Structure 1
Amino acid sequence: MRILLVEDSVRLRELLLEAVRDAGYRIDAFGTAGEARAALQEIDYDLLLLDLGLPDEDGLTVLKALRREKRSIPVLVLTARGAVDERIAGLDAGADDYLAKPFNNGELIARIRALMRRAPVAVMPVLDYAGLSLDVATRRLTSDGAEIALAPSEKSLLELLMRHGGTVVAKRKLEHAFSEFGDERSSNAVELAVSRLRRKLETGAPRAAIETVRGVGYMLREARR
């Protein structure tokens, strides 16, 4: 799962980046509406955390444009505009939830999980393949009911492989999913991450295996008996 944060306060942006990453999610962050619009054109995000008081454009304008374009991405508004009529305006503009500043980071993460549970069916909040089950919202991975501990980056790779279970995922697509905006990872970094993930699955998930399709990419499949 990949989150987009739009917040013009550098200090708050850094704090939120840390909190969301610690919760196991990938996140890109920008300080202006223009940067956010460009990122939304390039990447299919699963959730938008949107501040309304942006320097170049009101956040409500960004939100209304998304809804006019029929973009179904869940939007959690983060703003100092806490008055009831302002909250109503944000919800009427298409926000899915509203969190007034200052807020507790624990509540923010809980609201992210809640929005993911209510996300469209296409998002597939729980992925199941080859005995593996990954809750996209909580990032909890189990194999036949037993929990498996993975690093956040490994879970991101596995999520993409599970979404395409039984089919090949191009290495370039994995590189893109493994990285954050403006910090693209090398092929070697992805190969090392896949190798670590493969070893952990061999130990904790005997029914699942990652197959290398030379020159193309990787595929998650049912392990051969």
Structure 2
Amino acid sequence: MKLLLVEDSKRLRDSLALGLRKSGYVVDLTGDGAEGYWMATHEQYDVIVLDIMLPNMDGLSILTQLREKQVNTCILMLTARDKVENRVEGLSKGADDYLVKPFAMDELLARIDALCRRSYNIRASHIKWGPVTLDLSKRTVSVNEAELALKPREYRILEYIAMRSGEIVSKSDIESRIYDDNAELRSNVVESAISSIRRKFDAVGHPCPIETRRGLGYLIEKA
């Protein structure tokens, strides 16, 4: 999943980016409000994490203009303002969630995970296909309760295709949502990861739910 983090404190920005990337997210970041607004209107993100106090363009102005432009990406506001009226203002302007500083990283991750599920109209914390269970909160995959030893990126690929079940997901879309822009991608990196996922399903005696559509991408049928 791909996030945009707009936070003016370099120390906090770098710390949050590190924690989010360790959790498997692809993160674009900036400390400038005007640049953050430009990025939000020129790239697709699953969630935008947006500070309120920013140079050149404040977070509430960014939020208001994004909603006016019909950018419907889920937005989580960060702020040091803890009064009820401050939270009400952000939510009334179209924010999806609100987190007051200081906060625990685990809480931020839980809120982002929930917003990612909302982005794909998924309310439950599990996706199931017969004996296969994808646990979105624990980030695990099991078949008949036997957990598959997927690498973090393999899990994210399976999760992303599963959250878009019923749609064909292109290779380039997977690359942009799962791999950081700074990563040097081999031409077959997605194919190799999916082959590894399939081998791990084969090892437990169950077919992998990911289907290949030649020349188009990958598909998991709706359960």
TM bucket, shorter chain: 0.7 to 0.9
Asked if 1:105 is matched to 2:113, the reply is: no
SS in 2 for 1:208: coil
Structure 1 position 50, deviation (Å):
0.7
1:32-90 alpha-carbon deviations (Å, 9 max, x no partner):
23333333334432222111111120100111122223443322211223344323322
Q: 1:11 is matched by which residue type in structure 2? A: R
- The change in CA–CA distance for 1:87 and 1:168 in structure 2 (over 3 A counts) is closer
CA RMSD of aligned residues (A): 3.2
- The change in CA–CA distance for 1:146 and 1:182 in structure 2 (over 3 A counts) is same
**Alpha-carbon distance in 2 for matches of 1:138, 1:62:** 33
Contact 1:112 1:137 in 2 (8 A): no
- The change in CA–CA distance for 1:64 and 1:136 in structure 2 (over 3 A counts) is farther
SS in 1 for 2:188: helix
**Residues 14-163 of structure 1 aligned to structure 2 (within 5 Å):** 14-116=14-116, 119=118, 122-123=121-122, 126-129=126-129, 131-163=131-163
- The change in CA–CA distance for 1:68 and 1:204 in structure 2 (over 3 A counts) is farther
Structure 1 position 159, deviation (Å):
2.5
Structure 1 position 203, deviation (Å):
2.0
TM-score between the two structures when normalised by the length of structure 2: 0.78
1:135-155 alpha-carbon deviations (Å, 9 max, x no partner):
445533233443333222212
State, as a whole percentage, how many aligned pairs show the same letter: 40
1:148-177 alpha-carbon deviations (Å, 9 max, x no partner):
332222122212333455775433233223
**Alpha-carbon distance in 1 for matches of 2:42, 2:133:** 29
SS in 1 for 2:55: coil
TM-score between the two structures when normalised by the length of structure 1: 0.77
Contact 1:175 1:184 in 2 (8 A): no
**Alpha-carbon distance in 2 for matches of 1:100, 1:123:** 25
**Alpha-carbon distance in 2 for matches of 1:39, 1:148:** 36
SS in 2 for 1:122: coil
Q: 2:5 is matched by which residue type in structure 1? A: L
5+ residue gaps, structure 1: none
Structure 1 window deviating more from structure 2 (174-183 vs 51-60): it is 174-183
Q: 1:104 is matched by which residue type in structure 2? A: A
Contact 1:91 1:98 in 2 (8 A): yes
Q: 1:152 is matched by which residue type in structure 2? A: P
**Alpha-carbon distance in 2 for matches of 1:186, 1:34:** 34
Structure 1 position 16, deviation (Å):
0.6
Structure 1 window deviating more from structure 2 (212-221 vs 57-66): it is 212-221
**Alpha-carbon distance in 2 for matches of 1:144, 1:71:** 40
5+ residue gaps, structure 2: none
